[in-house]
Structure 1
């Protein structure tokens, strides 16, 4: 642990102290806690406006980790739980987070990640994923169109302030409740919620 700077020991007293490597983890944990606390009232409002399930997540080790799940008042079967993980490449929150990375960071991520199909709609081509990421960058929101779970569509966006990406959130709805008018409405709600939370950060 000493070699990894997780702890250090004084020569005179032989006592151990937390090392510098843990500082980043502490700051990250604090940021995660703050984003959850700050975002929650706005995410509840988004859930009530859309009557769909709303998630909040952060990126850890090339995955999205759920911090919050606000259930839809309507019946829906979503395979998600707080603390659960998602692929970046197949989820709305993940693709929103990928759109904030540099090309070098994307190349590094894709060099370690295999794009495995979770449904018949999952993007498994690196070229197609890059196209989706570019589209996400231009329009400011991402879409998971039944790519992570059959018959579930998600619209997501990141939460960023002063160049720091704190996480991402999404609205998830069964495909049968989605049409072009409904999609535009949810996108509008997502972008408005993004604006409110980022102003509160």
Structure 2
């Protein structure tokens, strides 16, 4: 079954691609058949993520819509990961020094995650955020994280030097993880998605912290890497 909130986002982006000069919220509502009340938070999120810009009350597309093709490919494979692992899978991108959540698949997991589509989180506290920085140099990381570190939990990294040290270790693994750093009850494993040798997004799987062990890590990582390869092969060859 197709995910209706995601379909709304795609419909809005495709509609604005057709109207290069942009549309106001009333016209978007009429043409998309999405209520203004439902549209408003979606448009605000797309503005914040810089997919749209606002010009005299008109929303104008601010990206190349090839991202839509990438998104559909990634989303389809996320469903397969969630079904195979029976765990929650999330998609994140780097915007404005944060990780933004673009999509989520719950699989058969009974875990209820705090994050929802459109939410943002600190890069240094999440496996997704760390995965998005895997190709970044030390100076680039310092520039991106030129901010105060806020602790989500007692295990959250609290300064740039410790984060740089953590990233050096994770780069050797070529995947990222955190255990109780974002939420004290959960652990997360993530991999980066690359297009033309550039990280464009990251995928993560979240499990209860007390379930985390080397065997589970290996199982999750094997599945993530399998679909990472499928996704990257697809988005780099169209």
- Please classify the TM superposition score into its range, dividing by the shorter chain length: 0.7 to 0.9
Q: Residue 25 of structure 1 aligns with which residue?
A: 62
Q: Residue 37 of structure 2 aligns with which residue?
A: none
d(CA) in 2 for partners of 1:114, 1:33: 34
Distance 1:31 1:79, change over 3 A: farther
Q: Is 2:79–2:107's contact at 8 Å kept on the other side of the alignment?
A: no
> CA offset at residue 77 of structure 1?
2.4
Q: Is 2:138–2:164's contact at 8 Å kept on the other side of the alignment?
A: no
d(CA) in 1 for partners of 2:67, 2:170: 23
TM-score by length of 1: 0.82
d(CA) in 1 for partners of 2:70, 2:148: 30
Gaps of 5+ in 1: 1-16
Gaps of 5+ in 2: 1-20, 23-52, 54-59
Q: Residue 109 of structure 2 aligns with which residue?
A: 74
d(CA) in 1 for partners of 2:107, 2:161: 34
> CA offset at residue 163 of structure 1?
2.2
> CA offset at residue 159 of structure 1?
0.6
TM-score by length of 2: 0.70
Match of 1:59 among 84, 94, 106: 94
d(CA) in 1 for partners of 2:70, 2:208: 27
Match of 2:206 among 147, 172, 179: 172
Distance 1:58 1:32, change over 3 A: farther
Q: Residue 233 of structure 2 aligns with which residue?
A: 199
Q: Residue 35 of structure 1 aligns with which residue?
A: 70
RMSD, aligned CA: 2.1
Which has the larger helix fraction? 2
Distance 1:119 1:43, change over 3 A: same
> CA offset at residue 167 of structure 1?
0.7
Q: Which deviations, in whole Å up to 9, do the C-alpha atoms of 1:137-191 show, x marking residues without a partner?
A: 2211100211111211110011102222211110011112222211111111112
SS at match of 1:193: helix
Match of 2:170 among 118, 136, 139: 136
Moved more, 31-40 or 164-173: 31-40
Match of 1:87 among 116, 122, 140: 122
d(CA) in 2 for partners of 1:31, 1:108: 28
Q: Is 2:97–2:145's contact at 8 Å kept on the other side of the alignment?
A: no
SS at match of 1:72: coil
SS at match of 1:75: coil
